[in-house]
Every structure is written in C-alpha cells, then in structure tokens.
Structure 1
Amino acid sequence: MKLTILGCYSATPRSITNPTSQVLEINNQMFLIDCGEGTQVQLRKHKIKFSKINQIFISHLHGDHCYGLVGLVSTFMLLNRLNDLHIYGPKGIKEMILLQLRLSNSYTGYGLYFHELTSTESEVIFENDKVRVRTIPLKHRVYTNGFLFEEKPGARKLNMDAVLNHEIETCYYQKIKDGADMLLENGTVIPNHILTFDPAPVQSYAFCSDTLYDESIVPLIHGADVLYHESTFLEQDKSKTAHTMHSTAIEAATIAQKAHVKTLVLGHYSTRYANLNAFKEEAETVFDTVELAEDGKVFNFNK
C-alpha cells in the first residue's frame, strides 16, 4: 500500500504548501482522494500517470478539497483520454463541474460519471474484485465524508508439495485456491488447509478530513492499518475547533488510539504554524505510531 501526499494543508494554497490531495495505491489500484488547487501540477511533479486515475473521491465541496477538479477533468480531455472517469462526492459536485465545462464551451471525449452522495450513514460506494470503498460520515460545516479503502482477500496459495503428493489434476487447482476441499477417487477428503497456504494479509486505509472530533467514526475505522486524520490545530488553539469544525493533533491521536489503528498520519495543518514537529509531539502523548504528512512525501506501508 503506497500513499503519495500531493497536498496536506488547510485553507489557501501558498508557494510552499498545497491544499489537500493524495494518491492511494492499494492492491494494484490507484485512487485520487480530494483535488485541491494545483493537484495536476503535483501529479506531474511526482510523475504519477494521469491515465491510471479512473476514480476520484471528493470529501466535501470546500475549495481546498475540490477546486483543482475541473482543471484536471479538462486536462484529461486535452490528453485525449479514452478511459471512463468516475467521480464520487457530495450532491452538487456534478452541477459544479458541468457548469464550468458548459460555460467554457468545453467537453470530454471520455465517459464522465458522477456518483453523488447524500447519505449520513456509512455506505459502500465502490467495489471491484480487489478493493471496497465505503464512506465515513464526518462532522464539518458542510456535508462531508471520509473514505475507508479495504483490500479484498486474494485467493489461497497452492501448497504444491501437498498437491503433487496427492496427484491432484491441474483442472482442480482453481477450486482449491477458492477454498474447496478435495475429494479423491478413493473417497478420501483432503481438507483445503492441507493443500493451500493463507493468502497475503489485506490492508486498509481510512481517510478522515475535515471533521470535528467525533468518536462515532471509531467502529467504522476500527483496526485500520493506516488512518489519515486531520489535525488543523495544536492544543493551544483548541478553542477554534468548535466554530471551524476541525480537530487538534491530540484529538486525532485519541481517535487513532480508540480505534486501535496501526499507524496515524496527521495532515490538514493550519498554515499559522511554522513547526510541524509540534503536531507529532502532541499526538505522541496519546498514540505511539504517528507520521506527519508533508507535500510530496511518499509512504510505503508493508503488509
């Protein structure tokens, strides 16, 4: 599982920082999560192939999370994209993008599909044979969702020594990999666990930005391998969280601790702070395994 941080700061872009956007690669699938201004520049800078992005997930319609989207959609057209593009986000995202395309007399030569979200309950919004994505309802000033990306278990691996020892024909290999026991001609049943090894462990990634501290998300993200949780403020400015509906680093760490996740990645920092290490130091008073998101940083999470 690989995570590339394209931008991880709140509010406005600056010459040295970018608003929220990141690319998650999980089980050989690539997903773009949020698309603040400058996302396509960051994609080029970090040599991420545009053609591999077929699904985009937008948490909410504040500008620092979606104002780069119409530019990216337009660039895909200029690059003669052929693959369909699916965009998942709050109701209104379709109107936002199509209005800009219409008024600029632009179009797409590829299929552009919007999946607008309205539910305040967690729901599965994307699924294929490798990955499932469900929403994480968050508490912010506008309708907002985080996203939980979960690998699906792969097929079991053949124990070739055992398979050859029992002289099992190759036509049965796939059934065995799918979990079936083997019935031999003499009536003997060979249990599947003798003929196979467990598949590789699965991984999961929870993206939570932006949100007020909210323990109701804990059951949804329980046991996640990695949690990205916004930490807009340090504890000295906790009084600002109520009206902005954001979180502190300690609050993010508390969610990580209660959810028993393996790794916490902090991000969405207010640009009022010059020292990011303070976020890590505060979070580590509650939770041990803390990483700092930084623009351009790449995380490789091993199984």
Structure 2
Amino acid sequence: MKITILGCYAATPRTFSNPTSQVLEIKNHTFLIDCAEGTQVQLRKSKVKFSKINHVFISHLHGDHFYGLIGLISTFMLLNRENDLHVYGPKGIKEIILLQLRASGSYTGYNLYFHELVSKESELLFEDEKVIVKTIPLQHRVYTNGFLFLEKNTERRLNFEALASYNIDKLYFNKFKQGGDMVLENGVIIPNAQLTFNPIAPKSYAYCSDTMYTESILPIIEKATVLYHESTFLESESHLSDKTMHSTAKQAALIAKKAQVQHLILGHYSTRYNNIEMFKEEANTIFHSVHLADDGKEMEFI
C-alpha cells in the first residue's frame, strides 16, 4: 500500500506548497483522492501515470479540494483517454463539471460517470474482488465525506518447499490457497497448515479531511492500518478549529489512539505555521506512530 502526497496544505496554493490531493496505490488500483489546483503538475512530478487513474474521490466542494478536477478531466481528453473515469463526490459535482465543459465547448472522448453522494451514513462506493471503498461521514462547514479503502482477505501463501517434498501436482495449488487439505492416494490427509502459510493481513487506509473532532467516525475507522486525519491547527489555535470546523494535531492523535489505528498521517496544515514538525511533536504526546504529510512525499506500508 503506497500513498503519494501531491498536496497537503489548507486554503490557497503557494509557490512552495500545494492544497490537498493524494494518490493511493492498493491492490493494483490507483485511486486519486481529492484534486486541488495543481494536481496535474504534482502528478507529473511524482511520475504517476495518468492512464492508471480510473476513480477520483472528492471529499467536499471547497475549492482547495476539487478546483483541479476540470483541468485533469480536460487533460485526459487531450491525451485521447479511452478508459472510463468515475468521479465520486457530493451532489453538485456533476453540475459544476458539466457546466465548465459546456461553457468551453469541450467534451470527453471517454465515458465520464458521476456518483453523487448525499447520505450522512457510511455507504459502499466501490467493490471488486480485491478492494472495498466506503464513505466516512465527517463534520465540516459543508457536506463532507472521508473515504475508507479496505483490502479484501487474501489467499493463503503456498509453502513450495513442503509441496515439493510431497511431489504435489500444481493442479491442486488453487485448492490449497483456498484452505483445502491434501488427501494422498493411501487416504492420509495432509493438513493445509503444513502446505501453506497464513495470508498477509489485509491493509486499510482511512482518509479524513476536512473535519472537526468527532468520535462518530471511530467505529468505521477502527484498527485501520493507516489513518490520514487533517490537522489544520495546533492546540494554541484551537479556538480557530472550533470556529472553522477543523481539527488540531492533538485532536487527530486522540482519534488515532481511540480508533486503535497503526499509523497516523497528519496533513491539511494552515499556512500560518512555518514549521510542520510542531504538528508531529504535539501529536506524539498522545499517539506513538505519527507521520507528517508533505508535498511529493511517498509512504509505503507493507
């Protein structure tokens, strides 16, 4: 599971920082999460192939999370994209994008599907044989969702040394991956545990930006491998977090601790701060495994 931070600062772009957008690579999927101004350029810098992006998830309709979407959709057209593109976001996202396309006399040579969200309960957005994606209802000034990406349980791993010792035909390998035992010609049963290893534990990624502190998300994100939680402010400016319905680094750490996640990534920093290390220092007083998002940063979790 690989996370590439394209941008992670709040409000407006600057010459040295970008607003929110990131790429999640999980089980051969490349998901784009939020799409602020400059996302295309950041994708280029991070060498993410445009053609691999088939699903875009927009958390809410504040500009620093989706103003780059029309540009990306238009660039896909210029690159002669053929694959379908699915956009998941709040109701209104379809009207906004189609209005811009019509006004500019543009079109897409590929199928563009909008999945507009209105539910304030967690709902299933996407599922295939490898991954599930659900919403995480958040509390912000406008309708906002986070997203939970879950790997499905994987198959058991073959113990090739053991298989060779029994001279077992490859024909049975899929059976063993599914947990089946081996029955020899003399009737002796070889338990699956002697032929395979336990599967790699499925990983999950919970993306929560923007939101005020709310424990309502705990049952949804419980024991996630990685939690990205906005930390717009430090506790010294907590009065601003209450006013703007954002979170502090300390509050993000409290959520991580109560949800019993493995790792916490902080981001969506207010540009009033000159040193983001302060966010990690504050969060570390509550939670042990804290990572700082930063533009262009890549993080892998094995």
Q: TM-score, normalised by structure 2?
A: 0.96
Are positions 1:259 and 2:259 aligned together? yes
The corresponding residue for 1:181 is 181
Amino acid aligned to 1:48: V
Matches within 5 A, 1:45-124: 45-124=45-124
Higher mean displacement: 33-42 or 112-121: 112-121
Amino acid aligned to 2:264: L
The corresponding residue for 1:295 is 295
Instruction: Encode CA deviations 1:271-303: one digit per residue, 9 max, x unaligned.
Output: 1111211111111111111111111111122x2
The corresponding residue for 1:132 is 132
Shift of 1:27: 2.1
Matches within 5 A, 1:163-242: 163-242=163-242
Shift of 1:180: 2.0
Instruction: Encode CA deviations 1:91-138: one digit per residue, 9 max, x unaligned.
Output: 111111111111111111111111111111112211122211111110
Structure 2, unaligned stretches of length 5 or more?
Answer: none
Query: What is the distance in 1 between the residues matched to 2:233 and 2:79?
Result: 39
Query: What is the distance in 2 between the residues matched to 1:160 and 1:262?
Result: 31
The corresponding residue for 2:12 is 12
Query: What is the distance in 1 between the residues matched to 2:285 and 2:279?
Result: 10
Amino acid aligned to 2:292: L
Are positions 1:285 and 2:285 aligned together? yes
Amino acid aligned to 2:159: N
Query: What is the distance in 1 between the residues matched to 2:95 and 2:181?
Result: 53
Instruction: Encode CA deviations 1:197-217: one digit per residue, 9 max, x unaligned.
Output: 112232111110000100111
Q: Secondary structure of 2:176's partner?
A: helix
Query: What is the distance in 1 between the residues matched to 2:279 and 2:164?
Result: 56
Amino acid aligned to 1:234: L
Instruction: Encode CA deviations 1:61-85: one digit per residue, 9 max, x unaligned.
Output: 1110001001000000000011111
Query: What is the distance in 1 between the residues matched to 2:231 and 2:170?
Result: 54
Amino acid aligned to 1:163: L
Aligned Cα RMSD in Å?
1.4
Shift of 1:2: 1.2
Higher mean displacement: 7-16 or 207-216: 7-16
- Runs of 4+ in structure 1 deviating by more than 6 angstroms, as ranges, are none
Query: What is the distance in 2 between the residues matched to 1:243 and 1:165?
Result: 67
Query: What is the distance in 2 between the residues matched to 1:240 and 1:5?
Result: 25
Query: What is the distance in 2 between the residues matched to 1:236 and 1:296?
Result: 28
Query: What is the distance in 2 between the residues matched to 1:140 and 1:182?
Result: 55
Query: What is the distance in 2 between the residues matched to 1:181 and 1:119?
Result: 45
- Identical aligned residues as a percent: 67
Query: What is the distance in 2 between the residues matched to 1:165 and 1:47?
Result: 45
Amino acid aligned to 1:193: A
Query: What is the distance in 2 between the residues matched to 1:200 and 1:74?
Result: 39
Amino acid aligned to 1:292: L
Q: TM-score, normalised by structure 1?
A: 0.95
Query: What is the distance in 1 between the residues matched to 2:47 and 2:58?
Result: 22
Query: What is the distance in 1 between the residues matched to 2:217 and 2:190?
Result: 43
